[in-house]
Amino acid sequence: MKQLYVLIIVLILCSCEQFKIKKTSSEAILKEELQTFNWQEVDAYPSFSKCDSLETNEEKSLCFSELLTNHILNYLQQEQIIVSQDINDTINLDFQVSEKGELMLLHSEIDSIVKVEIPTIERLIKESLEALPKIYPAIKRGQQVRTEFNLPIIINVQ
């Protein structure tokens, strides 16, 4: 009979392990959720107020790119740029829009001929960005997030 009591007590003690509740911290849940995000896509792309009336993300993204490109090109056209040879080239600009809607030029890929003919091109591009209207940042799961993108701009000076 003693053996039966010992066996029952051992079984009871072993079964208590099955009832332990795992405590999960909010930090662990957040870390797990962040790993499931697809950070390459956002729910809403950065935009200007003129693009807000459009319905799809693709239309808003295209509107944002077109407005940004047109703004830079219009600014460059207002400048007196004199060249000794015709330039027809593409400049690749890498931008970042912060969580606060601040646009920053990260990198510019400019051909050496353009740099020689228009030595102030980078400064002119940066100045044009300072005159941009308010930018609304990208949205991911209801939060404003930082995004990076590339924008090619065709320079045609004759």
For the chain, what is the domain count? Answer: 1
pLDDT digits (tens), the chain, 158 positions: 777 777 777 767 666 555 555 556 666 665 665 555 554 577 888 889 898 888 888 888 889 989 998 998 888 888 877 778 877 888 899 999 999 999 999 998 988 888 888 888 888 889 998 888 999 998 888 889 898 889 898 887 77
Instruction: Tell me if 73 is assigned to some domain.
Output: yes
CB-CB contact of 101 with 137 (8 Å): yes
Taking the model in full, what pTM does it have?
0.69
Burial of 131 (C-beta count, 10 Å sphere; 0-12/13-18/19+): exposed
Instruction: Tell me if 11 is assigned to some domain.
Output: no
Domain that holds residue 63: 49-157
Instruction: Tell me if 34 is assigned to some domain.
Output: no
